[in-house]
Amino acid sequence: MSNQSIVFTNMMAKHYIIEHVIISPINKEKGVVVVSSTEEEQEALILRIFAIEFDHEADSYVTTSELEAFSFDDQEFGKKFIDHLPNMSAIELMFAMNNFHKKHILQ
């Protein structure tokens, strides 16, 4: 499992930029990939988090389902959120998923 490539559909590869890949420290065959929208006409930054699992036949990770989506009107704050996401506590993530004081998460 030394190869950490991720298989995306053509649509996903065309519309998203990979921001982070987080592999579970407990089960190296599971993780998440965080992607952002690449559509320039959008003013908001759209982030999507997809579950990934390692496929031994493909020797790469494959996306299995979308877990969550976030929208940020303030793109600079959205980029800070992306950077903080791998270190976020479960409580911070639950607050963010419920749109509860997003700006307080990074304080």
Predicted local confidence at residue 28, as pLDDT: 93
Of 51, 107, 96, the closest CA to residue 72 belongs to 96
Return the H-helix or E-strand segment holding 18.
strand 16-23
pLDDT at 35: 92
Cα–Cα distance measured from residue 7 to residue 10, given in angstroms and rounded to the nearest whole number = 9
Q: Going along 29-77, which residue ranges are E strands? A: 30-37, 45-55, 60-72
Per-residue pLDDT tens for 28-84?
Answer: 999 999 999 855 666 788 899 999 999 999 889 999 999 999 888 888 888 888 888
Q: Is the pLDDT score of 1 beyond 60?
A: no
Residue among 23, 20, 18, 78 at smallest CA distance from 46: 78
Residue 3: pLDDT above 50?
Answer: no
Q: CB neighbours of 66 closer than 8 A, spacing ≥ 6?
A: 48, 49, 50, 51
Query: Quick one: average pLDDT of 11-33?
Result: 88
pLDDT of residue 2 exceeding 50, the answer is no
